[in-house]
């Protein structure tokens, strides 16, 4: 019988963003590939989709029902390999394995940024660290993407469990490159952006973790000095309406565009002068890497994941998370020092190559092969 692999994530957006190369890998290795996530459109290369009504809260009783449903699926299909991704789907997926009885399945959990970190509050640490302890018995391997998470995983993994650090899931470098002046002009024309605008991009889902509100609250300080500033917010999410309301409330609507889901984010980066991330927690963020591949200067919060990609003053700028005044000052500093920003953007476009798909793909598949067959 053909071996089976189950790839479990919170949403199909996550699957479609990160996993097509790896689904193809398993297909080439002769595996039947099943995907379990919230959504109804089966990825083209997968053999089967199991739609899971995962809700955002880890403590939601609805997610217990999801875990029970998934446990029945696991028991029925008797997977050889179960891959779980992100904190929420990682907890639900591994709980489902525990409920189904692990059997022959080898379980690999990929951490896309633990939702607890050095210096976070006691309650947050208790809520998000506890599942890792309770479920480590069914976890054969933990894949991490940054230094802090690697240290944490080694403390949490079961005796005999494996921890491997990889350079992310891999950005496809063919989709991104520093834009020429003509590229920039054409991209702005397509997006109806004035030629004289200073354009910043934040590409991220609208969630508490991505912390858009900090950037929105910093905008009045920025536009007071640079009235031509234009912020493009690319993405969708549960908090989108709340952020739209905040933008209207503080009178920033002329300076913000909600772009929705941007399937070809590379074209948006061509039109931009800068990328920003105000996230409070990350693994190894695609949005930073994609902006760096595009040669853009990046301003980001000084958190794990960001610090793995940015050397302050060399390949980007870091500001203290939670300090919107520092965020505004840093953005304005980059705008004033255009030559420095351009140089750092180009320096980052070279440094970030080690996180491209041609490095990440073999690193991830090497780990998978350890537990196949």
Quote the pTM value: 0.90
For residue 44, the model assigns a pLDDT of 81
For residue 293, the model assigns a pLDDT of 96
CATH number at residue 345: 3.40.50.2000
> Do both 182 and 308 map to the same domain?
yes
For residue 57, the model assigns a pLDDT of 81
For residue 124, the model assigns a pLDDT of 83
Residue 263 binned pLDDT confidence (cut-offs 50, 70, 90): confident
For residue 1, the model assigns a pLDDT of 83
Q: Is the pLDDT of residue 329 over 90?
A: yes
- Total number of domains in the chain: 2
> Do both 96 and 189 map to the same domain?
no
> Do both 159 and 199 map to the same domain?
no
211: left (phi over 0), alpha (psi -120 to 50) or beta: left
Pairing of strands 32-38, 48-51: parallel
CB count, 10 Å around CB of 254? 10
For residue 48, the model assigns a pLDDT of 96
> Do both 135 and 183 map to the same domain?
no
> Do both 182 and 66 map to the same domain?
no
Q: Cα(215)–Cα(217) distance, rounded to whole angstroms?
A: 5
Residue 118 binned pLDDT confidence (cut-offs 50, 70, 90): confident
Range of 62's domain? 4-170+357-370
For residue 125, the model assigns a pLDDT of 86
> Do both 150 and 17 map to the same domain?
yes
The string of pLDDT tens digits covering residues 251-260 is 999 999 999 9
The string of pLDDT tens digits covering residues 203-240 is 999 999 999 999 999 999 999 999 999 999 999 998 99
The string of pLDDT tens digits covering residues 51-102 is 999 998 877 889 999 999 999 999 999 999 999 999 999 999 999 999 999 9
The string of pLDDT tens digits covering residues 154-197 is 999 999 999 999 999 999 999 999 999 999 999 999 999 999 99
Q: If DSSP states are collapsed to H, E and C, what string results for the chain?
A: CCCEEEEEEEEHHHHHHHCHHHHHHHHHCCCEEEEEEECCCCCCCCCEEEECCCCCCCCCHHHHHHHHHHHHHHHHHCCCEEEEECHHHHHHHHHHHHHHCCCCCEEEEECCCCCCCCCCCHHHHHHHHHHHHHHHHHCCEEEECCHHHHHHHHHHCCCCCEEEECCCCCECHHHCCCCCHHHHHHHHHHHCCCCCCEEEEEECCCCCCCCHHHHHHHHHHHHHHCCCEEEEEECCCCCHHHHHHHHHHCCCHHHEEEEECCCCHHHHHHCCCEEEECCCCCCCCHHHHHHHHCCCCEEEECCCCCCCCCCECCCEEEECCCCHHHHHHHHHHHHHCHHHHHHHHHHHHHHHHHHEHHHHHHHHHHHHHHCCC
> Do both 181 and 304 map to the same domain?
yes
Whether the CB-CB separation of 356 and 170 falls below 8 Å is answered with yes
> Do both 223 and 133 map to the same domain?
no
> Do both 154 and 179 map to the same domain?
no
> Do both 194 and 158 map to the same domain?
no
> Do both 321 and 366 map to the same domain?
no
> Do both 63 and 195 map to the same domain?
no
Q: Is the pLDDT of residue 149 over 90?
A: yes
């Amino acid at each position: 019988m053909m071996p089976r692999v189950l790839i479990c994530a919170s949403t199909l957006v996550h699957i479609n963003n990160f996993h097509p190369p790896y689904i193809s890998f398993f297909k080439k290795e002769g595996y039947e590939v099943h995907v379990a996530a919230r959504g109804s459109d089966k990825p083209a290369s997968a053999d089967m989709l199991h739609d899971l009504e995962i809700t955002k809260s880890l403590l939601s009783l609805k997610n217990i029902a999801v875990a029970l449903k998934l446990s029945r699926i696991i028991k029925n299909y008797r997977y050889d390999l179960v891959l779980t991704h992100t904190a929420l789907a990682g907890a639900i997926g591994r709980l489902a394995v525990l409920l189904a009885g692990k059997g022959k399945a080898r379980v690999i959990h990929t951490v896309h940024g633990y939702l607890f970190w050095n210096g976070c509050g006691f309650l947050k640490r208790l809520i998000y660290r506890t599942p890792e302890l309770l479920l480590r018995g069914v976890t054969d391997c933990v894949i991490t993407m940054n230094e802090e998470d690697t240290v944490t995983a080694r403390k949490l993994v079961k005796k005999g469990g494996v921890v491997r650090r990889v350079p992310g899931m891999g950005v496809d470098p063919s989709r991104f490159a520093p834009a020429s002046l003509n590229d920039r002009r054409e991209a702005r024309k397509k997006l109806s952006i004035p030629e004289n605008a200073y354009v910043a991009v934040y590409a991220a889902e609208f969630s508490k973790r991505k912390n858009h509100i900090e950037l929105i609250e910093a905008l009045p300080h920025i536009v007071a000095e640079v009235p031509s500033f234009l912020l493009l917010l690319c993405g969708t999410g549960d908090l989108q309406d709340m952020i739209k309301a905040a933008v209207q409330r503080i009178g920033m609507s002329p300076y913000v565009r909600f772009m929705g889901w941007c399937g070809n984010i590379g074209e948006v980066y061509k039109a931009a002068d800068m990328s920003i991330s105000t996230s409070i927690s990350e693994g190894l963020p695609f949005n930073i890497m994609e902006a760096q591949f595009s040669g853009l200067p990046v301003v980001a919060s000084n958190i794990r994941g960001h610090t793995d990609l940015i050397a302050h003053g060399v390949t980007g700028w870091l500001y203290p998370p939670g300090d919107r005044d520092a965020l505004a000052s840093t953005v304005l500093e980059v705008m004033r020092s255009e030559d420095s920003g351009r140089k750092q953007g180009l320096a980052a476009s070279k440094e970030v190559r080690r996180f491209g798909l041609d490095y990440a793909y073999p690193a991830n598949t090497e780990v998978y092969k350890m537990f196949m067959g």
